[in-house]
Chains A and B, each alone.
Chain A
Amino acid sequence: MGTKIGYTFIQSNRAWLPKALVLWIMGMAFISMSIYRGMDEENKIRRKEVLGSMCDQRARMLQDQFNVTVNHVHALTILVSTFHYFKNPSALDQDTFAEYTTRTAFERPLLSGVAYAPRVVDAQREQFERQHGMTITTMKSEPSPIRDEYAPVMFYQEPMSHVKSLDMMSGEEDRENILRARATGKAVLTRPFRLLGSHHLGVVLTFPVYKSKLPPRSTVEERIKATAGYIGGPFDVESLVENLLGQLAGNQAILVNVYDMTNASDPLIIYHQKASTPWTALTTAFFLFVIGLLVGYILYGAAIHIVKVEDDFHKMQELKVRAEAADVAKSQFLATVSHEIRTPMNGILGMLALLLDTDLSSTQRDYAQTAQICGKALIALINEVLDRAKIEARKLELEAVLFNLRAILDDVLSLFSEKSRNKGIELAVFVSDKVPEFVLGDPGRFRQIITNLVGNSVKFTERGHIFVKVHLAERTMVKTDAKDETLLNGGTEEGVCRSGTGQFNTLSGLEAADGRNSWDKFKHLIDAEGFQSNASIINMMASNGGSEDVTLMVCVEDTGIGIPLSAQERVFMPFMQADSSTSRHYGGTGIGLSISKCLVELMRGQISFVSRPQVGSTFSFTAVFGKCKEYVFEDIKQSKSEDLPPGFKGLKAVVVDEKPVRAAVTQYHLNRLGIMVKMSSSIKDASSTAKNGLTSSEDKFQPDIILVEKDCWISGEDSGFNAQLLDWKPNGHVFKLPKLILLATNISKDECDKAKAGGFADTVIMKPLRASMIAACLQQVLSTENKRQAGRGVPNGSSFHQGLLRGKKILVVDDNGVNRMVAAGALKKFGATVECAASAKAALDKLQSPHCFDACFMDIQMPEMDGFEATRRIRQMESKANEQMMNGGSSVDGTAKRDELHLPILAMTADVIHATFDECLKCGMDGYVSKPFEEENLYRELAKFFKSKPLSAFIKMRQGPGAFELVILGLKLIERFSWNQSLSLPQEPHSWVRVPLLGLD
């Protein structure tokens, strides 16, 4: 994962974010402003329209009112002319006029009042003044100077009393107006001017009154001549407008300019009512802005957050890459370092071994032995670390070979037998009969897991038992799910505890952590499986033949110190022990369980445990193994099963044991040997069974062997076992007396002597039980075969190696003469015939098709042509030859049995890096031996390699010369047994059997 990948758009433009925010805010401000403006504008337009229409309406109304007013004033003129001039004497006086006009004032809504001023020429002035008792005055209330004519106000409406006797002709505007009016004979208006009474702006309407009726088309002179007076009234513009606007505007803000149409440039009056602020628009815009601001901020915040998260993400990714690199480096480091340590450690151990071979004083020997033990422990630890590193680097691959599970379990048991015996712990294994005898998997790793678990158990158990149990996982699940939950959740005490004795129904009688292993469950298991002979297994195999895999459940139960509850979570973590005091007390690194867990997971299983402090722990794991095909199974069964001597088939035995679990274990081992077993819980029962067997003919169970558990024997001692046994004798049938065998975990010398005295002269079998060991004991006891001392003359290491390559012809290819010679020497030691080749070319010549080599050791680094290339060529040659054989070989019978040419080629190399090994395999090599040769190493490789051969060879042999060969092979196996460290118990009596510690593999 590159760190460059994954930058988003936001990430790459991070510097622009604040600017974008500012821009956004500005944009929002602009937008909301323009929206405000738009709304305001619209508002204004709407209001203007409304105002416009209202104004139009008002204007029309005004027009109408004006017309009405003018018409009425016209009517007044007619009234005046009719009643003042045509009547004589005049029917009109001031009072009448005032009343009439006042009462008809509603007809002239626009005029504030009307007045009548007669036309008075200068000649009539005095007469007029006299007649009406008044002086004609000017507008400024002065007696009027002499003019051609006057227009003094004679009648007036009441509010206009201030104009009485004023000469209208004295005002500039009025005069002009009067002149125009009498000339045109129509209503005439002045231009706006300040009115006399109110000083308001106003216009004056003037109408002429004629003395006589004028013809329709009269001339100006005629009209002037006929003029009798004038009626006039002021329009008070301001109050008019005010009145108008009052109706119009209501509470709306309005600005009105009043213009004189004749002079449009500046307004006469300006009415200004303050415009109210447009709140709607303002708030809308404001909210919009706020929303925009918020949205902008949110977006900005989100972007910032994204940037931050992405930054973190990249940082994390980088850290992850680094952590992974560190992890890989750690694993590599571990692998390298442990490998590098291993090399010198091998030297140290070798030297120590050599040192031990020399003549040492006992102290020196002790020191050296201690050093060697420590060194071995260190190597073991390093190997574990290496394993762990390999697992972590995912370089560990499981093998898939056929192996015998029971044999491996026996092996593991034998490893710990001494320790357990010293501690007085009962160690036992039980494999359900449903478990196939051979499974496909990695025996080494399986063994490693078991060894680890059992080793832990042994380490942490001081009393009681360790019990390894293997059965099919499917079966257990069905069996256990129902009741176990209750058992686990506190019901344990009552459930398992047997009422009378207060003992638990487990192997040793001590309580176990996991109730599942109690006898109740166990019995079900055994009952269901029925302990049948091998035939049933095969049947079962056949019936289950459909599925390829078999899931095994392995439980390792102990009665040790248990795991503290607080530490139970950490159990599978590497380098974690339950607590530090534990490691101080018991030693160990705590890496084993984590490796086991990894291995179990590699085997597609799961590991778990139940543990109760001070009670014990039960580790159980499942593992998936391949099933072997039936026909193969048969073959192998015939060959491999021979590790257990077949001579005991059909024997009958009675096992005397009060503990059913323990009895079942014994039975299991005896069954493996083909011995039929009856169980009885006490010696009494046993003897009665035996007697019945003797007497009743239909139920013939004549035991050949009676195996008695030590506890039983001790408890039953008083009851006079001997006597009971001796009872059998008088029956004196042809049957021989059954052999008595004592089973014991540990036994003191006293007890041993007592046992001998008590009738167990035959033998004592020390636990842990193993089929092969029982077989050896029985052989000794029953003397069914020729006497053969188990541990005769421990041969020095290489003697047994000798047979391995006997008769084999081996080619050694190395350019280095010395190496060649040493290799040849070593191989000769194993009994092989060796030929050498100094170069790859020479080797190729020697390996031309019909050759008689059985194997080839090939140096990798050689001049001209290296080992890889040479191997490739050899393989090419072989495949060519194979093809030819396929084509032409069918006619020749002899070639048929060598079905395919494949010369085993083993690489020899000084560097033992894994990669080199891979390369070796890639180019067609079969194995690999490190230089310089070490005998053990070489043997191990060879043994690994030639392992498959003896089997097939053996099967062929069996068909050939007959049983003789079989015995030879058997002897060889036995030899190997005895070569591997054997346990001797020097102080014990002769009846002890030498027990091989390391079994078959």
Chain B
Amino acid sequence: MGYVDDQFSQLHKLQDESSPDFVVEVASLFFDDAEKLINSMARALEQPCVDFKQVDSHVHQLKGSSSSIGALRVKNVCIAFRSFCDAQNREGCMRCLQQVSHEYTMLKSKLQTLFRMEQQILAAGGSVPLE
């Protein structure tokens, strides 16, 4: 599927009886976090005088979260994003920001669908297979 990597399945492994909604919890935390970060990045980039350091730290945060959750594409864009930040390239940053938010929304919608389906399966009494 390409949106997430091995880490996501690792997350699934962490989910057991003691914490049945672990993945969903982590994911929603990630979504909240990411949304905040993307917004603040967008704000920072709109400033006439861009504080690249701050943007960079945001991107770092986002990269950390996305790699933890296994959001491969978001992470990859973040890596590119950081290099633009290092180069203080506003154009590139803007482009990356767009990409990040795009990837993020894609991921979010996919995952939400996934979770919904899982829930439906569970509600129907089935078990969720790990891909």
Contacts and interface: CB of A to CB of B under 8 A. Distances in A.
A910 B62 CA distance: 13
Contacts of B19: 825, 828
Nearest to B62: A816
Given A816-B68, A817-B33, A821-B26, A829 B9 contact: no
- Most chain A Cβ neighbours within 10 Å, of B10, B16, B130: B10
Contacts of B14: 822, 825-826, 828-829
B40 interface: no
Nearest to A798: B13
Contacts of A823: 68
A821 B70 contact: no
B30 interface: yes
Given A818-B68, A828-B19, A347 B5 contact: yes
B15 to A, nearest CB: 8
A350 B19 CA distance: 25
A817 B29 contact: yes
B67 A934 contact: no
Most buried by A among B6, B22, B63: B6
Interface in A807-827: 814-819, 821-823, 825-826
Contacts of B11: 822, 825
Interface in B54-69: 57, 60-61, 63-69
Contacts, number: 76
Interface in B1-58: 5-7, 9-11, 13-16, 18-19, 22, 25-26, 29-30, 33, 57
Interface string A576-594: 0000000000000000000
Interface residue tally of chain B, by bracket?
Answer: 20 to 34
A828 B25 CA distance: 15
A818 B33 CA distance: 8
Interface in A462-495: none
B29 A935 contact: no
Contacts of B57: 863
Given A816-B61, A825-B11, A932 B68 contact: yes
Interface string B89-124: 000000000000000000000000000000000000
A883 B25 CA distance: 44
Nearest to B16: A829
A351 interface: yes
Given A358-B131, A825-B26, A829-B16, A935 B10 contact: yes
A932 B33 contact: no
A172 B126 CA distance: 176
B19 to A, nearest CB: 7
Interface residues of A, number: 28
A57 B64 CA distance: 126
Contacts of B16: 829
Contacts of A816: 33, 61, 64-65, 68
A216 B63 CA distance: 156
A354 B69 contact: no
Contact of B6 (A347, A821, A825, A931): A347
A695 interface: no
A818 B6 contact: no
A354 B9 CA distance: 9
B10 A818 contact: no
Contact of A819 (B6, B10, B68, B130): B68
A932 B65 contact: no
B67 A910 contact: yes
Interface of B: 5-7, 9-11, 13-16, 18-19, 22, 25-26, 29-30, 33, 57, 60-61, 63-70, 130-131
26 contacts: A347-B6, A350-B6, A358-B131, A814-B64, A816-B33, A816-B68, A817-B29, A818-B65, A818-B66, A821-B26, A821-B29, A822-B69, A825-B19, A825-B22, A825-B26, A826-B10, A828-B14, A829-B14, A910-B63, A910-B67, A931-B64, A931-B68, A932-B67, A934-B10, A935-B10, A935-B13
What are the 4 tightest A-B residue pairs by CB atom distance, in nearest-first order? A818-B65, A825-B14, A816-B64, A822-B68
